[in-house]
């Protein structure tokens, strides 16, 4: 399972998502640092590794799990 951090607005609308933890791209490391905002919340979800290969599949998993919480 892969861990993904989902960013939601105050109405629980998904604004974006990024793989949790540091992501290495060449000589650059990217990691989300949540901003303490009253309007946004960050939720870490687990999705199957296979879903990370297809954007439509990943979108379905994220929207389904984020809506369920």
Q: How far is CA 68 from CA 9, 12, 45, 62, 65, in A?
A: 15, 10, 11, 10, 5
Q: What is the pTM of this model?
A: 0.73
Of residues 36 and 26, the one with the higher pLDDT is 26
Of the given ranges (25-29, 51-55, 60-64), which has the lowest mean pLDDT? 60-64
Residue 27 pLDDT more than 80?
A: yes
What is the chain's length?
69
Q: Let me know how many helices (H) and strands (E) the chain has, helices first.
A: 1, 5
pLDDT in tens, 60-69: 888 877 666 5
Q: Are 2 and 54 in contact (CB under 8 A)?
A: no
Mean pLDDT over all residues of the chain?
A: 84
What pLDDT is attached to residue 38? 67
Q: Are 4 and 17 in contact (CB under 8 A)?
A: yes
């Amino acid at each position: 399972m892969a861990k993904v951090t989902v960013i939601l607005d105050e109405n629980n609308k998904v604004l974006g998502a990024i793989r949790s933890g540091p992501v290495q791209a060449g000589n650059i490391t990217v990691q989300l640092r949540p901003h303490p905002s009253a309007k946004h919340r960050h939720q870490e979800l687990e999705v199957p590794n296979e879903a990370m290969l297809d954007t439509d599949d990943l979108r379905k998993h994220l929207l389904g799990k984020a809506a369920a919480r």
